Amino acid sequence: MFLSFPFFTIAALEQFIVPNKFSIAPEGSKEKFIQEYSWHQFVLLALTIAVGFARGVPATDAPDEPQRLSNVKKPMYFVIGYGILQAILGISLTFLYSPDSETRYLITTVSQILLVMLLSYYAAPMFFTCTMWYTWIIFPAIICMIGGCKALFAHQLDCYKTLFIFWIMMIFFGLLDMYLMAVNHIYDGCFHFQHRAPTPRYPEWLMYRPPHPIPTVRY
């Protein structure tokens, strides 16, 4: 169907843009809790981008070896697996603690720190140098995401809605990306192509080559 950057990595990064901290809304407000941005999430996002660029840009110059894609896939199974567990943990904590609970916020933030390390160190080189071939199976994944979000919206507070969307995306896009890697639907990306050696414009039989090496004259 189409080639794209790995959707799991995009969804995992987007959770750092959404506020994860809540406080009790003032009296007279329609909502019980309001979202608040914290400096922790901006630090984590900045670290992911900075270290990700430091790891991803040099990876675009990696030589074209037969095992390159295989070496990229192996650590990504662990990265995606942890990301799925981190999303499930975040969803589970919303049922165990109130939105303004410091315990819920601290556990979620600590779980995100390890995800930042994995994304910046392993997912960034794949994001810069590889693309995924998404087939028809993306439609069942989207249907599952919509169903999961609706189920959570019906049983939880409205303040969690944006977090639930990205956590559900991480779960189902993560499962989808793991399946596509398992069936080898991973290819070289455009940034990797740009750093390959240029191809000769003319066929080799038109390229002039001297029949013998030109001797070096010394004076």
Tell me the pLDDT tens digit for each residue of 59-81. Answer: 877 777 777 788 888 899 999 99
pLDDT attached to residue 212: 52
Calculate the alpha carbon distances from 129 to 77, 178, 186 in Å.
17, 17, 10
Predicted pLDDT at 82? 95
User: Do 160 and 73 contact (CB within 8 A), yes or no?
Assistant: no
Give how far Cα 135 sits from Cα of 32, 49, 96, 126, Å: 42, 29, 37, 19
Q: Domain limits of the chain?
A: 2-206
Tens-binned pLDDT, residue by residue, of the chain (219 aa): 788 888 999 999 988 888 888 887 777 666 777 778 888 888 998 999 999 989 888 887 777 777 778 888 889 999 999 999 999 999 999 999 988 888 999 999 999 999 999 999 999 888 888 888 998 999 999 999 999 999 999 888 888 888 999 999 999 999 999 999 999 888 877 666 544 444 444 445 444 454 555 455 454
